[in-house]
A and B are shown apart, each in its own frame.
Chain A
Amino acid sequence: AQTVTQSQPEMSVQEAETVTLSCTYDTSESNYYLFWYKQPPSRQMILVIRQEAYKQQNATENRFSVNFQKAAKSFSLKISDSQLGDTAMYFCAFWRHNDMRFGAGTRLTVKP
């Protein structure tokens, strides 16, 4: 079974600075997808970024980028130029065979 580990329950960052959230996973599969989802206080789940495991190039979406290390089974999220609206829970997720597994989440607070 795939497991997803987020070792940082809480993090904080000053507005406009950069923060990196870590995620590791365990799988014997070679083809899979990895996601970062944001969950603001409204509790809606919002897709931040997606990475296909067969792609070596790290995904980027505006201020959000990932550092995908397949051999190390690591998938960290970097948020540049942090904004107050980035304050939320962030969940890392692993998808394979129609089954999405989530990590426990990291609560990120952006401070003014």
Chain B
Amino acid sequence: EPEVTQTPSHQVTQMGQEVILRCVPISNHLYFYWYRQILGQKVEFLVSFYNNEISEKSEIFDDQFSVERPDGSNFTLKIRSTKLEDSAMYFCASGRARNEQFFGPGTRLTVL
């Protein structure tokens, strides 16, 4: 059964550094999402992406964040200058339609 995959599983970075989190959505899916979950807190929506552009974004998704689908298979989340409070689990999700979302296993980001 196809799955959403994410790499790396754990990323450690220094404050102020740029990080790129990678996701490979399920191949026939058209809708893509990023979420984050700070340890012990609820999952929070960051951004949705469809037809090569952002369709919705939350207040968390500020100018430090960007997303890209560079080659038709990968879907990336970039954080330009990481802060301590960016430490969280980041989940990618994809779906064939807007009412379904299959989540990847997540990338744990630790900012030191």
Cβ contacts under 8 Å, B56 to chain A: 97-99
B contact residues, total (Cβ < 8 Å): 27
Interface residues of A in 72-104 (CB under 8 A from B): 91, 93, 95, 97-104
By the criterion CB–CB under 8 Å, are A33 and B105 in contact? no
Q: Which of A15-23, A41-49, A63-71 has 4 or more CB atoms under 8 Å from chain B? A: A41-49
For A33, give its contact among B31, B33, B55, B99 (CB under 8 Å): B99
Question: Is the CB of B89 closer than 8 A to any CB of chain A?
Answer: yes
Q: Are B100 and A50 in contact (CB under 8 A)?
A: yes
Q: How far is the CA of A59 from the CA of B22 in the complex (A)?
A: 33
Q: How far is the CA of A111 from the CA of B65 in the complex (A)?
A: 42
Assess whether B43 is in contact with A99, with CB atoms less than 8 Å apart.
no
List residues of chain B with CB within 8 A of the CB of A105.
42
Chain A: minimal CB distance from B4 (Å) = 10
Main secondary structure of the interface of A (DSSP, over half): strand
Provide the bound-state CA to CA distance between A32 and B112, in Å. 40
Q: Is the CB of A98 within 8 A of B98?
A: yes
Chain A CB within 8 A of B17 CB:
no
Cross-chain pairs A/B with CB under 8 angstroms, 18 sampled: A37-B103, A43-B37, A43-B89, A44-B103, A45-B43, A45-B91, A47-B100, A47-B103, A50-B99, A95-B101, A98-B31, A98-B33, A98-B48, A99-B45, A99-B56, A100-B33, A101-B45, A102-B44
